[in-house]
Structure 1
Amino acid sequence: MLVCAASLTLGACQSNQSKKELIKPVFTADDMDLSVKPGENFYQYANGGWMKQHPLPDDKSRFGSFDLLAEQSKEKVKTIVEKAAAEKGAEGSLSQKIGDFYGAGMNTEVINQAGYTPIQPLLDKVNNIQTKADITPFISELTRLQLTPLFYFYASADQKNSEMTIAGIYQSGLGMPDRDYYLSDDETSVKLREAYVVYLTKLFTMTGNTEDDAAALAQTVMAFETQLAEASNTRLENRNPHATYNKVDVDGLSQMAPQFPWKAYLKGIDMENAGDINVNQPTFIKEVALMYEVESLDTWKAFLSSVVIRKTASYLSDDFVNANFAFYGEALSGQKAMEPRWKRILESTSSALGEAVGQLFVAEYFPPAAKERMDNLVENLRIAFGQRIDQLEWMSDETKTAAHEKLAAIRVKIGYPNKWRDYTELKIDAASYLDNVLASNRFEFAYEMGKIGKAVDKDEWRMTPQTVNAYYSPVGNEVVFPAAILQPPFFYLDGDDAVNYGAIGVVIGHEMTHGFDDQGRLYGKDGNLQTWWTDEDSERFNSRTQILVDQFNQIEVLPGKYADGELSLGENIADLGGLAISYQAYQNAIKEKGNIADIDGFTDEQRFFLGYSRVWAQNIRDKEILRRTKTDVHSLGINRVNGPLPNLQEFYDAFNLDKAAALFISPEYRATIW
């Protein structure tokens, strides 16, 4: 199929890579807003035309060039999934599982006829709870189904022994996305609490309760979740890896929170011999245990029923799906309409059978040449990062040596895993969408539990190839770039070097910098949480990052609402570092090439910054701005451009900006870290 790229170009369309119809980056007045001076608002200058051409669809709370690429990826995955469905593959084959999962989700007639009967067995189990002792096995069952009633029980590398996998417990249990929605007195939070109670009331009504009973149950659940919220860590507190490292054994867990029957719970998830367990938020777990002891049976039954309904609503009949959207889509994010059903089911299919779909995606859409060019780019960025370390005036030679060792040790994964997941034991059929979702959840939970107590698999990926994203893992000391992000506007296989370094080059530098941001720097080259900086270097680093915190805290995202410079610090460090490192890598790459020609009237230095800025072009609703400012560690698109760029002298030089520019920051007040 043919998918037109409208993100950074007026050039050719992106077809199947084998046809070699390659997009070239283009900058014209149509994409930009030349009525705005680059020094006044570079984001608007670079992206104003694109934003006008791409108004917010009703089914999106945010839509940008990043999201457009994700939409293009969905179209490709849709082709793969629909082909698998049409093949009607042999029982147990990947095509059969992919096709039947997707087909069951698209069978709205069967789903609507079923109503809430697919979750009736779970609700019956709640109703049949007679004693406190009956609660524990049901919580275990919901854990195995990954419906997460109170806390996540998961597998991860031990942060102080990164070669081994241990169990972890992490706070959960809230129906709203952040504790502050339960506790803050601002108008937005108050209205969302009211909307959430309406939503819970509707869920209880649709599952057979009277209006009055449903309203009472909703209030009970709201009070229960508010207690959980009061005991929950803030997002800032959860960014402290030392505070969230509290390793105990099963007996230690029972001593930490003695009212909760941990051994019975662990037996219910087949993890009696869990070994070491990291409790990320001890205060929260202690409160859960206390609530287990003091809350009434009826309160627990109301809460557990709400978890079952709320966590499955998007997989049930249309009335549940619509109620779910009314709160999470409209009230929370400001969406005006739901995405088409095929996109929602496609996402679920791609999540449940991620690497099965990924194998087909890579075979169809990821050419070896892209991987080869990315390999070269990554190594160029690594060299440039090393040069930046050597140039640092604020870091001691001792810490520089350790930083070089960590940089050299970063593992790089590009495109897709070296080995694919085995889905043999996952049983999927065409009969029930929800049953398939829960079967996938059980399969995934068992897979994760099977890692505990074993050596970490260094080849494993935590993202699928069809995901438009990238990540750095501090305990793995690795950077990962899935195939789907290696497309315009991030990566041009046969495109301008300046734009490639400004876009995917900065992404590479961004992820590498995460190994040296306010959190990543706390992990050594082997991924272990350890001290490898001198105290003096740490103090100098913190004083420099505080400049970035202060800069972002002054950004007004909406009237009277400001960005959170502390919450977004790690990502802002990575953006600033990625820009500096990739710009140096680009200068290294062109050193022997002489003068670089202008394109579209822009110098190569200008195209570097334009290419970076176009990645973050977006339109976004006010409600989504508020939600992301409260919950997202990433800055808004406009602030990922106008925030870091004024800290770079190279940006001023590229566009001949002086102190009269609105974005100008005096050199002594600029953040210079990496």
Structure 2
Amino acid sequence: MSETPTELELQPSVQPSSQPELELGLQPPSQSDLQPKPRWRNLQRLLLVLLGFSSCAAMLGLIYYLHHRLHPEDQPAAVSPCVSAACRSASARISSSTDPFAQPCEYFTSSCGLDRRAELSGGRMRGQGIPGHPQNLKDRSERRGRDGEDRRQTEDRTLDRKTLLLQHLREVLETKDGSSGLAVEKTRRFYSSCLDTRAIESAGEEPFLSLIQKLGGWAVSGQWNRTDFNSTLSSMMRDFATFPFFNLYVGKDPAEVSRGSSRRYIQIDQPDLLIPIKWNSRTQKSEAKTETLRPFLASCQRYLALLGAPPSTSMIHVGVFISLSSELAVAASPLQHRLQEGQLHQRMTIRELQAPAIDWLRCLQAAFHPLSLGEEDLVLLHNLPYILQMSRIIKKWQNKHELSGSGPLHTYMVLNLLHTLMPAMDSRFSGTAKNFSLALGDTEGEVPRWRRCVLETERGFDSVLTHLLRERTEHRQAKEMIQHVFSSFKSKLNQLQWTDQKVLQLLMKKVRSLTPRLWTSEESSEAELDLLFSEVTVGSDSFFSNYIQLLSLWQKRRNKLLTENREAADILSVTPSLLGDELLFPLGMFVPPLFHHTYPRAMNYGATGFLIAKDILHLLLNDISSHSGSVSAAADCLWNLYLSATEAASRRASLSAAQQQELWLQFSALQVSLQAYQQSLQQRPGDSSLSGRAHTHLFLTAFSQVNCDVDPYREFMPLGPSFFITVVCSRTNQCPSTPRCSIKPQQNPPHTC
């Protein structure tokens, strides 16, 4: 034993007494003391010392074991690295991004403004969405980036949740996996034909002209068999989802929703007119924008030229089209005006809706074929004055005998059909539309082709995409995160100081009545999907004919909404919603790179957990600042710390109530998600690591990458949420190290932060 010589050296050796000791009057040792001590006594002492050390070590080990058994959150993190394919991709992104614990103050104090987003997105701007998409009429998207992987990685860095969901669906559509069902194959074939721009360019205008001939021809081309107006209108509504004179959709009556009813009705609204209009507040009427008439005229002439109209007659047809469009524009009115006039959700039967020009029963039966509709069925109108005036205008144009040969109403419907089918036509048509938008002052960039194709695919094959997305989402972990975050959210509410206890009681009653759950539609097997899409024919070489199939699927989707009372999950949704007593979280919130079942939980909670918490706070605490003093106190504390860190005390600006609430809300969301992650660790101790980062380090890294996510409340956020990392690390000992931009001791936030 190595300790033995040391212990022996501590024993004094026996030496004869010296003379000086005698002189000092010390007693000499006895004879027995002068005898050498037995060696076994030295060994005995050594064994006693070793036994003592062993007992202490055993006691310390027992204390350590019991402490960590009772307090699992204090255990050292399990730092085994995640090596899945998803983790390797995530690790590459993290390794190429900034580490918040190694950045100067500028990193934390920069805002989520346009300059920062331009830097993160490689200078991309946001552009115009797919026209006419039922789920996203005014969707905005980014400019077309560079082709290839560099572009995809650049898009990933923006962390716009809608874009990330579409990118994930793109990957699903472009990946050949084990799904061998016919419905899945048709879905991917449709998407692939949409991407095949070479075939689309080669087809040119011929598919559309052939379609017009099937509808009875067109006076513009010189061959028109004078088809019946209501017959043509019914065909366009039934076969091509085109509504030239009014809009049709399915929805609920808000008055009944408040009473718990889920019944849906046919809703009839004014159309999306092709001619640009504006509202005249003095005359209380809409009118065509005179400054846009010249470019509008030029675009209409261009369309007719592309469709082979003779130059000698095209001006006549364009003139009557603009004239008819202008008359319809005068009858339309903006939503705010109709709301003030009580013109929304006016209920009447189809019999009461009958007008001289429109055969409403015939048209509605065509639009919702094969559903059975009768004259006593109820519909909801959103602008009855427009519907009546529109009918009178059509009747007047039908009676203009001098124009009967040019078929102005038929031309109006054909040009609206062209607008519906334009996404399936060659670039000459989309280029004309783009030039008109530029003439109107719209400088937004065009939508990337892949994004357009994903959105178009979703319109008809949403149930197939839902099936594919559900297969790739780990439900157990998503549900666990939802429960932990919601539990942490309720704890946060109890910590607030409320000015009115009645408000608190009502809010807590509402929160306790809610059931948070993952929002999924009724699961369909591949065999059921194959049967559902058995009559759909999708070719690989003609996107135009595939697009006609898509419009038919869209019509069936609308019919399904009318006959089913249950709320189908929206695959394109990326935020939670309230439905009765349920708080629903769509699958679109749980996609890479924000969430993956193989990621370390720290990464999932730092990104998706934070977004869930922020969404819940926005959804349930619409206006909390007026009911809790904690909001303004915490916001002022955070704002003062921010001003101190940026050395901007000389330009202290007071925050508005909306800014205070948003600042408090986002900081609270970070606290809620961090607490939820700690709850997860208590239930299942240990977590994997990524890029050498684990636990809180990885959690805050994921948060720093997602905190500039685009949401409707972004304009109220006065600072970049990354600054919260310095506040969290100054108050707890959970951070792996102190950020370079740390809050000085004298700046430590009070309890209000």
User: TM bucket by the smaller chain?
Assistant: 0.5 to 0.7
**Structure 2 unmatched ranges of 5 or more:** 1-80, 127-141, 147-153, 283-288, 401-406, 632-656, 731-753
Instruction: Return closer, same or farther for 1:232/1:570 CA change in 2, 3 Å cut-off.
Output: farther
RMSD: 5.5
Cα contact 2:610–2:673 (8 A) shared by 1: no
Cα contact 2:250–2:267 (8 A) shared by 1: yes
1:401 paired residue among 478, 487, 506: 506
For residues 470 and 539 of structure 1, the distance between their equivalents in structure 2, rounded to whole angstroms, comes to 25
Cα contact 2:460–2:553 (8 A) shared by 1: no
2:269 alignment partner in structure 1? 170
For residues 279 and 578 of structure 1, the distance between their equivalents in structure 2, rounded to whole angstroms, comes to 40
Instruction: Return closer, same or farther for 1:260/1:583 CA change in 2, 3 Å cut-off.
Output: farther
Query: Which piece of structure 1 moves more, 441-450 or 576-585?
Result: 576-585
Residue correspondence of structure 1 range 264-343 to structure 2 within 5 A: 264-269=362-367, 270=369, 272-273=373-374, 275-295=377-397, 298-327=407-436, 334=443, 339-340=448-449
Cα contact 1:426–1:439 (8 A) shared by 2: no
2:171 paired residue among 54, 76, 80: 76
For residues 652 and 231 of structure 1, the distance between their equivalents in structure 2, rounded to whole angstroms, comes to 57
2:545 alignment partner in structure 1? 435
For residues 473 and 384 of structure 2, the distance between their equivalents in structure 1, rounded to whole angstroms, comes to 47
Deviation readout 1:561-601 (Å, 9 max, x if unpaired): xxxxxxxx99999998576456434335437989x999799
Cα contact 2:190–2:543 (8 A) shared by 1: yes
SS in 2 for 1:590: helix
For residues 281 and 575 of structure 1, the distance between their equivalents in structure 2, rounded to whole angstroms, comes to 41
* Structure 2 residue 704 is matched with structure 1 residue 610: yes
Cα contact 2:264–2:565 (8 A) shared by 1: yes
Q: How far does residue 315 in structure 1 lie from its aligned partner after superposition?
A: 0.9
For residues 53 and 600 of structure 1, the distance between their equivalents in structure 2, rounded to whole angstroms, comes to 32
1:210 paired residue among 310, 314, 317: 310
2:361 paired residue among 259, 263, 282: 263
For residues 275 and 488 of structure 1, the distance between their equivalents in structure 2, rounded to whole angstroms, comes to 48
Q: How far does residue 313 in structure 1 lie from its aligned partner after superposition?
A: 1.7
Q: Which amino acid aligns with 1:508?
A: I
* Structure 2 residue 226 is matched with structure 1 residue 137: no
Residue correspondence of structure 1 range 167-566 to structure 2 within 5 A: 167-175=266-274, 180=278, 194-211=294-311, 213-234=313-334, 244-254=344-354, 260-269=358-367, 270=369, 272-273=373-374, 275-295=377-397, 298-327=407-436, 334=443, 339-340=448-449, 344-345=452-453, 347-363=455-471, 366-368=472-474, 371-387=475-491, 391=496, 393=498, 397=502, 400-401=505-506, 404-405=509-510, 408-410=513-515, 412-414=517-519, 417-419=522-524, 423-430=532-539, 432-452=542-562, 454-458=563-567, 460-463=568-571, 467=572, 469-470=574-575, 472=577, 478-483=583-588, 485-489=590-594, 494-495=599-600, 497=602, 500-501=604-605, 503-509=607-613, 511-512=615-616, 515-516=619-620
Cα contact 1:199–1:327 (8 A) shared by 2: yes
SS in 2 for 1:462: coil
Answer with 1 or 2: which has the greater Rg. Answer: 2
Instruction: Return closer, same or farther for 1:394/1:501 CA change in 2, 3 Å cut-off.
Output: farther
Q: How far does residue 428 in structure 1 lie from its aligned partner after superposition?
A: 1.0
Q: Which amino acid aligns with 1:111?
A: A
Deviation readout 1:322-375 (Å, 9 max, x if unpaired): 3344446897753666745x6644543343223224434544xx252xx22221
2:209 alignment partner in structure 1? 117
Deviation readout 1:604-649 (Å, 9 max, x if unpaired): 9965863443434xxxxxxxxxxxxxxxxx64xxx72663658999
Q: Which amino acid aligns with 1:108?
A: I
Q: Which amino acid aligns with 1:175?
A: L
Q: Which amino acid aligns with 2:674?
A: Y
Deviation readout 1:289-338 (Å, 9 max, x if unpaired): 34334445654333212101111122124433433444468977536667
For residues 434 and 572 of structure 1, the distance between their equivalents in structure 2, rounded to whole angstroms, comes to 52
SS in 1 for 2:243: coil
For residues 348 and 427 of structure 1, the distance between their equivalents in structure 2, rounded to whole angstroms, comes to 16
Cα contact 1:413–1:479 (8 A) shared by 2: yes
Deviation readout 1:518-549 (Å, 9 max, x if unpaired): 7xx9xxxxxxxxxxxxxxx99989xx9xxxxx
1:51 alignment partner in structure 2? 121
Cα contact 2:357–2:391 (8 A) shared by 1: yes
For residues 219 and 118 of structure 1, the distance between their equivalents in structure 2, rounded to whole angstroms, comes to 25
Cα contact 2:218–2:410 (8 A) shared by 1: yes
* Structure 2 residue 732 is matched with structure 1 residue 643: no
Deviation readout 1:24-48 (Å, 9 max, x if unpaired): 5748775999684644635479757
Q: How far does residue 77 in structure 1 lie from its aligned partner after superposition?
A: 3.1
Q: How far does residue 472 in structure 1 lie from its aligned partner after superposition?
A: 2.5
SS in 1 for 2:190: helix
Residue correspondence of structure 1 range 2-81 to structure 2 within 5 A: 21=88, 23-24=90-91, 26=94, 36=106, 38-39=108-109, 41-43=111-113, 49-52=119-122, 59=144, 64-66=158-160, 69-70=164-165, 72-73=167-168, 75-80=170-175
Cα contact 1:513–1:574 (8 A) shared by 2: no
Q: Which amino acid aligns with 2:144?
A: D
Query: Which piece of structure 1 moves more, 508-517 or 442-451?
Result: 508-517
Cα contact 2:111–2:719 (8 A) shared by 1: no
Q: How far does residue 118 in structure 1 lie from its aligned partner after superposition?
A: 3.9
2:200 alignment partner in structure 1? 108
SS in 2 for 1:163: coil
1:532 alignment partner in structure 2? none
For residues 655 and 190 of structure 1, the distance between their equivalents in structure 2, rounded to whole angstroms, comes to 59
Q: Which amino acid aligns with 1:51?
A: S
Cα contact 2:473–2:597 (8 A) shared by 1: no
Instruction: Return closer, same or farther for 1:295/1:344 CA change in 2, 3 Å cut-off.
Output: same
Q: Which amino acid aligns with 1:139?
A: L
1:97 alignment partner in structure 2? 186
Instruction: Return closer, same or farther for 1:496/1:410 CA change in 2, 3 Å cut-off.
Output: closer
Instruction: Return closer, same or farther for 1:303/1:268 CA change in 2, 3 Å cut-off.
Output: same
Cα contact 1:472–1:479 (8 A) shared by 2: yes
**Structure 1 unmatched ranges of 5 or more:** 1-11, 522-536, 545-568, 617-633, 657-674
